[in-house]
Amino acid sequence: MQPPERKRQMQMICLRNLPYLDTESLGPCQAQEALLRDDHGFLLYLSKDGSLASKEERVVRLETREALIWLNEDALHQGSFWA
Length of the chain: 83
pTM over 0.85: no
> Residue type for 7, please?
K
**Least confident piece of the model among 56-60, 65-69, 77-81:** 77-81
Residue ranges of domains in the chain: 7-62
pLDDT at 24 > cutoff 90: no
Query: In the chain, where do the E strands start and end?
Result: 11-21, 28-38, 41-48, 56-62
Per residue in 30-64, pLDDT tens?
Answer: 889 999 999 999 999 999 876 556 678 999 999 99
Q: Torsion-angle region of residue 41: left (phi > 0), alpha (psi -120 to 50) or beta?
A: left
Q: Residue 55: its pLDDT value, please?
A: 78
